[in-house]
Amino acid sequence: MIVSIDVDAQKTFTPLCPNELPVVGGDEIANELNAQAELANFRVMTKDAHSPHAQWLCDLPAEILQTTGLPDAPEKWVSHAMIGTYGFELLDNLPEETEYDFCVWKGVSPQLHPYGACFHDVRERLSTGLIEWLTVRGATVIIVGGLATDYCVKSTVLQLLRGGDWRVVVNQAACRGIAADTVAAAWDEMAAAGAIILDNAVAVAQYLQAA
């Protein structure tokens, strides 16, 4: 059973929202996400979903990644993916939320700012239900793409690799990251943990046919 996951493919992480957390090329991945989903039996969506009362908010980009002292939101971030805003929306040309088979909304509570899609908290004690849902569906291969490579994609992939007896494939063409050094480190970390890193959906299709 093959499952495709769109990780935080939202406008907040694109140049469409320059005052939030714009990732270069973040608005270019919808077609690749759709292509990888064509290879799957089920499609999952994850979204950052934040409150204007979030305790990790900062006013200036220079304050990003400063420590907060909060166990489940350790770094500061500027306002992004606030529920109901333009940045909260999925990228154009992706399905409506109700068309996905399973959805995860992350960071709704003001004191939480998780990166991975499998747990509501950074300490990984509060399940979002994603691992359990994948287990019940009998997932054997999970294809991952989304935003951003060096944070939410990486964390989600590492959680999935620890969470079940399935192969995790990461579609590079369906991902974009924040900084070159942390992106490179993320690819290395995911590969070292056992992720299968492939160039694009065509390569994913070839891998699935050969497996």
The 10s digit of each residue's pLDDT in 175-206 is 999 999 999 999 999 999 999 999 999 999 99
Cβ contact 10:88 at 8 Å = yes
Q: For the chain, what's the residue count?
A: 211
- Taking CA atoms, 145 is separated from 29, 61, 64, 112, 119, in Å, by 8, 26, 24, 23, 18
Using alpha carbons, select from 121, 116, 205 the residue that is nearest to residue 157: 116
| Distance, CA of 182 to chain centre | 15
> Given CA atoms 66, 68, 71, 72 in this order, what sign does their dihedral have?
negative
Give the bridge partners for 102, in sequence order.
44
Angstrom distance (rounded) from CA 38 to CA 76: 37
Q: Give the 3-state secondary structure of residue 209.
A: helix
Using alpha carbons, select from 53, 16, 47, 41 the residue that is nearest to residue 143: 41
Query: Tens place of pLDDT for every residue, the chain, 211 residues?
Result: 999 999 999 999 999 999 999 999 999 999 999 999 999 999 999 999 999 999 999 998 999 999 999 999 999 999 999 999 999 999 999 999 999 999 999 999 999 999 999 999 999 999 999 999 999 999 999 999 999 999 999 999 999 999 999 999 999 999 999 999 999 999 999 999 999 999 999 999 999 999 7
Q: Are strands 42-48 and 2-7 parallel, antiparallel or unpaired?
A: parallel
Using alpha carbons, select from 7, 90, 93 the residue that is nearest to residue 45: 7
- pTM of this structure: 0.95
pLDDT digits (tens, 9 = 90+) for 24-48: 999 999 999 999 999 999 999 999 9
| Amino acid making up residue 170 | V
The predicted pLDDT at position 211 comes to 77
Angle at 108 between CA 150 and CA 71, to 5 degrees: 65
138: left (phi over 0), alpha (psi -120 to 50) or beta: left
